[in-house]
């Protein structure tokens, strides 16, 4: 089985209250809006709500803290709304392609 190249997180930077960026070990830099990320929260509750079109996210949501989970994912503690989601790096990379 072919292994995908492993891209890891090098650095997380807060851009402003609503955006942060990630620098990856392959040199790519991704930028995210916190509310957009929260809209994509991968937890079971939000996935279900999203399916029903019932997920509402405050456009101006800010974060208390962004921390890495092991070597493969990020967890964002938002000031409002759901903070249960674990955003793994492949999801983050995928979202970045979708959103920019």
Binding site for Zn ion (CB under 5 A): 41, 43, 46, 82, 84-85
Complex with Zn ion: residue 9 or 82, whichever CB lies closer: 82
Report the nearest approach of Zn ion to the CB of residue 77 (Å). 12
Short-list 4, 7, 84, 81, CA closest to 42? 84
Complex with Zn ion: residue 11 or 79, whichever CB lies closer: 79
Three-state SS for 49? helix
Complex with Zn ion: residue 20 or 78, whichever CB lies closer: 78
- What is the C-alpha separation between 81 and 89, in angstroms, rounded? 22
């Amino acid at each position: 089985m072919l292994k995908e190249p492993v891209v890891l997180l090098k650095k997380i930077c807060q851009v402003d209250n609503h955006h942060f960026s990630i620098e990856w070990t392959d040199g790519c830099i991704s930028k995210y809006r916190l509310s957009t990320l929260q809209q994509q929260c991968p937890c079971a509750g939000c996935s279900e709500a999203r399916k029903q079109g019932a997920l509402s996210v405050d456009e101006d949501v800010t974060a208390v803290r962004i921390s890495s989970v092991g070597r493969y994912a990020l967890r964002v503690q938002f000031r409002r709304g759901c903070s249960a989601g674990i955003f793994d790096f492949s999801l983050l990379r995928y979202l970045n392609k979708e959103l920019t």
